[in-house]
Chains A and B, each alone.
Chain A
Amino acid sequence: MRLKAPIVLLCVLVLTGGAWALIRSRISATALAGSAKDQPKPHQAVPPHHGTPVELGDEQFTIELVREPASGTLRAYVLDGEMEGFVRIAARQLNLEVETQGGRKLLALKPVADLATGETVGDTSLFEARADWLKAADRFKGVFRNLRIHDQDFPAVAFGFPEGNAKD
């Protein structure tokens, strides 16, 4: 008898305080969740295929290079300056001069049509070239020559592979 009353009193304090804390925390959690959803996502300039970005001009466009060692394929994706969207161009080929340990090479990356994306030759963002030496060429210096994208000319764009040519 004498212990029950204090125990009940203690339970009261705990329960009442707990109830109030719960209400406050649920209201806060709902408000936070709402505000979190409203926050704009931070801008992420990451190449979509996690390849090597080569900036053209003052970030007007980017070419993302992806090497596939097994097949000796080098793919070039033409992207916008922020690497968010793919830019389709009518170029017949992309000319790339490469300096490797084995000397200077020339690569002509050809346009690729893809049923999945709806791209065709003459309206595509994907160019690729294949060469045996590419299978072992994990580091090289390159220069894109005479690029023309949407009426903008880029006579020579130098870069290193795999680091790219980002200024910052």
Chain B
Amino acid sequence: MDATPALLIQDLLKSYPTPSGGRAEVLRLPRFQLEAGQQLALRGESGLGKTTLMHIIAGILEPDSGLVAVGGTQVTGLSEARRDRLRAERIGYVFQTFNLLQGLSALENVMLGLAFGKGAEPGTAMAALERVGLADRAHHLPRQLSTGQQQRVAVARALANRPCLILADEPTGNLDAARGRKIVELLRESAASLGSALLVASHDPEVLAAFDQVIDLAELNQVAPREEEV
């Protein structure tokens, strides 16, 4: 196994401005690490900062301070363009609501997962679709696919660039239990076959039950949960 951790977080701090003019801390993580090929579920209820943490790891958001490194490359401190590129090349992201582009076919959506990194290769994208069992639906539009199939396309997109880290934020949120189980199974098998680390954020017990290792965000985060302001 590669000794370089797939994910390393140290002294992470993230806060948001409040209406009153101050700042409210959302995340304070002293340390978190995911080894290469490790699969971990992150438990936490909605509104506790799971998505914020995922976005920081992916380089979509910047923390106030701290270190985040993916596959040995520091994400924090990079320019936005470099973070974009790192995300395109090293990270696969599965969103809660599929987030497929409605105007593109399944194959084209998967090619998006490659386009901003090494380049969109139809052959590689098709292989990713085959891995999730949807090669025969390559030219279907999302509206022509079932919800389960759409999420499988999203998974294929996340895997297409053979990332060292796969992030999945509530990947079964829009699926029924049966389909949800299948998606989690697919994620785990695909990550294992690629040797990618997998971090799934969810509050769904069925999802959490599929993992050998589950960690509570509340245990990692030193910021106490607070009431969501509506």
Contacts and interface: CB of A to CB of B under 8 A. Distances in A.
B115 interface: yes
B27 to A, nearest CB: 32
Contacts of B116: 1
Interface string B118-139: 0100000000000000000000
Interface string A53-92: 0000000000000000000000000000000000000000
Interface residues of B, number: 3
Contacts of A1: 115-116, 119
Interface string B89-126: 00000000000000000000000000110010000000
Interface in A96-110: none
Number of chain A interface residues as a range: under 10
A1 B116 CA distance: 8
Interface string A1-23: 10000000000000000000000
Contacts of B119: 1
Nearest to B116: A1
Which label, helix, strand, loop or mixed, suits the secondary structure of the B interface?
A: loop
B114 to A, nearest CB: 10
A64 to B, nearest CB: 82
A8 to B, nearest CB: 16
B112 to A, nearest CB: 12
A45 B55 CA distance: 86
Nearest to B81: A2
A1 B111 CA distance: 13
A1 B119 CA distance: 8
A75 B115 CA distance: 91
A1 B115 CA distance: 8
B45 to A, nearest CB: 39
A48 B196 CA distance: 98
Nearest to B118: A1
Interface string B188-221: 0000000000000000000000000000000000
A144 to B, nearest CB: 93
Nearest to B120: A1
A1 B121 CA distance: 13
A1 B120 CA distance: 10
B15 to A, nearest CB: 33
A84 B209 CA distance: 110
A11 to B, nearest CB: 21
A123 B107 CA distance: 98
Nearest to B117: A1
A95 to B, nearest CB: 99
Contacts of B115: 1
A1 B89 CA distance: 14
A46 to B, nearest CB: 73
Interface in B5-41: none
B83 to A, nearest CB: 15
B55 to A, nearest CB: 23
A166 B115 CA distance: 86
3 contacts: A1-B115, A1-B116, A1-B119
A-B CB proximity, top 3 nearest: A1-B115, A1-B119, A1-B116
